[in-house]
Amino acid sequence: MRNAPTILHLDMDAFYASAEQASKPSLRGKAVVVGGLGPRGVVATASYEARVFGVRSAMPMAQARRLAPNAAYLVPRFGFYRAISEQVMGLLHALSPLVEPLSLDEAFVDLEAGEAAWDATSARLVGERLRADIRAVTGLTGSVGLAASKMLAKIASEEAKPDGLVLIEPGTERAMLGPMSVRTLPGVGPATGDHLRRAGITTVDDLAEAGEDELVRLLGKAHGHALHAMALAHDDRPVVAEREAKSVSVEDTYDVDIHDRLRVGLEVQRLADRCVRRLRAAGLSGRTIVLKVRRYDFSTLTRSETLRGPTDDPAVVREAAARLLDSVDTTGGVRLLGVGVSGLADYTQEDLFAQAAGEGTAEQVTEEGDRREEPAEERQAVVERRWPAGHDVRHAEFGHGWVQGSGLGRVTVRFETPRSEPGRVRTFRVDDPDLEPADPLPLVEDVTGVSAEGVGA
């Protein structure tokens, strides 16, 4: 480990929910929950006001609604969050060439590699300046942890939440970690925590005192060895600038089980096209096509097929996914479908036989094209989905607003912007010609030349 706290961990505070509150003046200081709103949806992020009621990330949305019935429940706007993330990551890359993103709202930074910090004093100054810059550029807050290792920096940022900074001085790690719960350490989830508790191990000090041999006996060689090292505050993992993607995949969970085999096939085709779009956006291709099916009884099946060469041809991926589906019994109903591509490469080897077989049908099927083939009742459902809760709209007379809710042929909109006062609410027909989807507005005036404006929801 280092002798200076020059590894920084940034974690944006309740990122999705905070972005929604900053975007919508009427929600500031209110409980906000972002996630899938269907019966099987889960919470992606809850604001700190919602957490007071016990709402947490990854919780079933139905449970969240029981705990906080008066919260605002919104559908994620990932394009909007991604634009803000790019602004934040730009600030981190200005500090060091070694930035390791973990998600849209979280990253490690090696300050030493960028010569931005070399001791505790300089590291603290960098951390405070970063928090101020993030607030100025995005209007949001982030918590910063500084330590001599990645594990400790992440623990420090968690201790700093919300909107704070914690620096762990080298030499104080063991004393700080000792009284903490074993669940503080990475890799110790509920099951491992319960297993250790039954053995009388509840704190990090207990782990260290148990010794490596005992932990290996309880948890196995790899996990026991790693956990003992972490209990002693040993972590030599470097900050890695880029992680090589192993696969690209997409999946959907359905509010109601799909029983119609034709509908299942259409969903697989649509997922294959979405997967190829992600593949192409990353400049990649792949050899192995993977189909994932979770059936009505929660049993999950995966099927895969390896091609002769890497491809990013949507027709090839669709056809392979369809062949894989033929081998799966979906009679009882399907609750989740996924399509993925692995064996990635940065080039394609055109499959001439597949091209010949698919000639005339290789044009990528768009989501609009898929909809034209759906039954009338499915088209009606699509009309309702045009107005997801929380997404941006514009009205010819009233201007910019966001959807509070929709149903029964009506859509309710609150008209306000990030820099306005809380706005008025009005209700329209879902097919009102004066109402249309809109792009999100930037949260603050453009300070750096990077703006969220123009990014679709």
- d(CA 153, CA 175) in angstroms, rounded, equals 15
Assign 433 to helix, strand or coil: coil
Q: Quick one: how far is CA 12 from the chain centroid?
A: 13
The total of other beta-carbon atoms located within 10 Å of residue 364's CB is: 14
Q: Is 173 a catalytic residue?
A: no
Is residue 310 within 8 Å of residue 349, measured between CB atoms? Answer: yes
Exactly one of 100, 106, 173, 319 is catalytic; name it.
Answer: 106
At residue 14, what is the residue type?
A
- d(CA 357, CA 348) in angstroms, rounded, equals 18
Which H or E run contains 227? helix 221-231
- d(CA 233, CA 210) in angstroms, rounded, equals 15
Is residue 374 within 8 Å of residue 264, measured between CB atoms? Answer: no
Q: Give the burial class of 299: count Cβ atoms within 10 A of its Cβ; 0-12 exposed, 13-18 middle, 19 or more buried.
A: exposed
Assign 182 to helix, strand or coil: helix
Which H or E run contains 332? none
- d(CA 140, CA 164) in angstroms, rounded, equals 12
- State how beta strands 142-147 and 7-12 pair: antiparallel
Is residue 409 within 8 Å of residue 430, measured between CB atoms? Answer: yes
Tokens at residue 40, please?
């099987």
Long-range pairs, 399-404, Cβ under 8 A, ≥24: 400/438, 400/441, 402/23, 402/24
Tokens at residue 181, please?
């719960």
3-state helix, strand, coil in the chain (%, to 5): 35, 25, 40
Tokens at residue 409, please?
């042929």
- d(CA 314, CA 334) in angstroms, rounded, equals 23
- d(CA 347, CA 283) in angstroms, rounded, equals 8
* Residues classed as catalytic: 106
